[in-house]
Amino acid sequence: MAKERVLWGVGSARALRVHWALIELGLEYRSERIQSRSGETETPAYRRLNPRGKIPVLEDGGLVLCESGAIVTYLAETYGNGRLIPAGGAERAKYFEWVSFISMEIDATTLYVLRRHEALPEIYGEAPTANAAARGYFDRMITAAARDLEDGRRYLLGAEFSGADILMTTCLDWALAYRVPLPEPWLAYRERTTARPAHGRAEAANAVP
Ligand SMILES: N[C@@H](CCC(=O)N[C@@H](CS)C(=O)NCC(=O)O)C(=O)O
């Protein structure tokens, strides 16, 4: 019998990405509603699943997959039938450019710095200089990236919604939660992506118990 599909993790922007992709694709899954920094990622059983002790993790058949960007891309490639990731060519190359840019320049280099040193200084330490630099760098990157929206495209890759939009939207939400100003084209873009029915359902699925 095929193993159940299981998503581990709720209550985080990264987990929301995977809930959203699963729901966009209409895939059944069981949600294990564990949260970061709750002790639930530190149990021996969870560490056997993911020695890094992070959420989200997807179990799909025999596969155990970490890293939200990789999971969204895997789901799109495996179950999308043309949805969430372009089949080939320049559009597919652009998909990977956006996923890499969002994961590195928007998430890891800027928003995660603020997460650690502004929101959780009791764990990661105070770093006001790094925080100010992260805010400035975010502004530079997101303003430059807004130029791609100038041609009036609906989503990052054009007319079709993709996994890159899932990642970008969760980062924009995250930025707003930290009172990081967003250029107007990104606010309008976020209105479009969050209007998708799957986004609302994913937020409900990702809500903390
Ligand atoms: N790059 C990873 C980051 C995963 C991550 O840092 N998850 C956080 C919650 S958003 C977590 O599990 N933190 C718990 C911890 O660091 O112990 C991804 O995109 O999946």
**pLDDT value of position 2:** 61
Per-residue pLDDT tens for 127-136?
999 999 999 9
* Residue ID of nearest Cα to ligand 1 atom 6: 54
Q: How high is the mean pLDDT of the chain?
A: 97
DSSP labels for the chain? -PPPPEEE--SSHHHHHHHHHHHHTT---EEE---TTSSTTSSHHHHHH-TT--S-EEEETTEEEE-HHHHHHHHHHHH-TTSBS-SSHHHHHHHHHHHHHIIIIIIIIIIHHHIIIII-HHHH---HHHHHHHHHHHHHHHHHHGGGGGG--SBTTBSS-BHHHHHHHHHHHHHHHTT----HHHHHHHHHHHTSHHHHHHHHHHS--
For a substitution probing ligand 1, which of 41, 50, 54, 102 has the most ligand atoms within 8 Å of its CB? 54
Mean pLDDT along residues 100-110: 97
- How remote is the CA of residue 159 from the centroid of ligand 1, in Å? 31
102 within 8 A of 164, measured Cβ to Cβ:
yes
For a substitution probing ligand 1, which of 8, 55, 67 has the most ligand atoms within 8 Å of its CB? 55
The reply to whether the predicted model has a pTM over 0.95 is: yes
Of ligand 1's listed atoms, the one at least distance from the Cα of 67 is 20
Going by pLDDT thresholds of 50, 70 and 90, the confidence category of residue 33 is very high
Report the C-alpha gap between 105 and 55 in whole angstroms: 20
CATH numbers and ranges of domains, the chain? 6-83+199-206 (3.40.30.10), 89-196 (1.20.1050.10)
**pLDDT value of position 3:** 77
Residue 1 pLDDT > 60: no
Peptide bond into 181 cis (omega under 30): no
Mean pLDDT along residues 13-37: 98
Spell out which residues line ligand 1, taking CB within 6 angstroms.
Answer: 12, 14, 36-37, 41, 53-56, 67-69
* Residue ID of nearest Cα to ligand 1 atom 2: 67
Mean pLDDT along residues 53-70: 97
